[in-house]
Amino acid sequence: MFANQLEVNKVFVTNLLASSLVFVGFLLEGSIKTVVLNAGFFSLSGSVTNWLAIYMLFDRVPGFYGSGVIPLRFEEFKLGIRHLIMTEFFDRSDLGVFFSQDGSVQRDLGEKLTNIADGLELEKAFNSLIDVIMNSSFGSMLGMLGGRDALVPLREPFIERMKSYLKEELSNAEFKQSLEESIKTTLDNSSVREKLANLIDARLDEMTPEIVKDIIQNMIRKHLGWLVIWGAVFGGAIGVTLSSLQLLA
């Protein structure tokens, strides 16, 4: 809640400062008026454009083709989670040894899954997410903001939030109970993986586009506000440079 409020304030203050430059520019006279006006207009254009781009990444806007790309491609995101869990957690040669250990499976399951989650290579998941975005119709619009490089600073926040999300889901009591009941029926690796796949599919089927949007939004949206700030900064710099060149010509 606080992070979302902080994000809104960051965007609001940036747009307010850019608008103030435009207002001040109209009050000035002489050559400085052109410099300040151009700086204000270019800064406001950069911040508003980037803000709209971020908004359209998560929400559909009627008449804007390619907006709402994340909820629209939620099926690909679900498949990515399924592949990640099945290959990193359960496609292991020691699966049978793990399940046949003495003691309660459910007692140790949460700790073991948490340890595995800490060692996951989630950079591949982040790269896949970027590929989905860049290969969509939204990619060309994002290209004006720096393309793939504009999303690189979100790598660490994404990995941290994804690990947190996986730990929370995999430590869920209901999930562990269902998992224990499934693996107790057989120690054959292929059979276990098939049962796990069905269990994970059932859980993923409960995910809606809105849930997927919220997951990604909670991971990276609060960091995207910097795109608005830098859009205003670079826009203002371009405006000042353009005005200076006009005055020198």
Report pLDDT for 186: 55
Report pLDDT for 3: 47
In a structure prediction context, what are the per-residue pLDDT tens digits for the chain, which is 249 residues long? 444 555 567 788 888 999 998 999 888 888 888 889 999 999 999 988 888 888 888 888 887 777 788 788 778 877 877 777 777 666 555 555 555 554 455 556 667 777 777 777 778 777 887 787 777 766 676 666 666 777 777 888 888 888 888 877 777 777 776 776 666 555 555 666 677 778 888 877 877 878 877 877 777 766 777 888 888 899 989 988 988 887 776
Report pLDDT for 41: 92
Q: What is the DSSP letter of 244?
A: H
Contact call for residues 141 and 64 (beta carbons, < 8 A): no
Report pLDDT for 114: 74
Report pLDDT for 109: 64
What is d(CA 209, CA 80) in angstroms, rounded to the nearest whole number? 14
Contact call for residues 194 and 91 (beta carbons, < 8 A): no
Contact call for residues 229 and 47 (beta carbons, < 8 A): yes
Domain layout of the chain by residue ranges: 2-64+228-248, 69-221
Whole-prediction pTM: 0.55
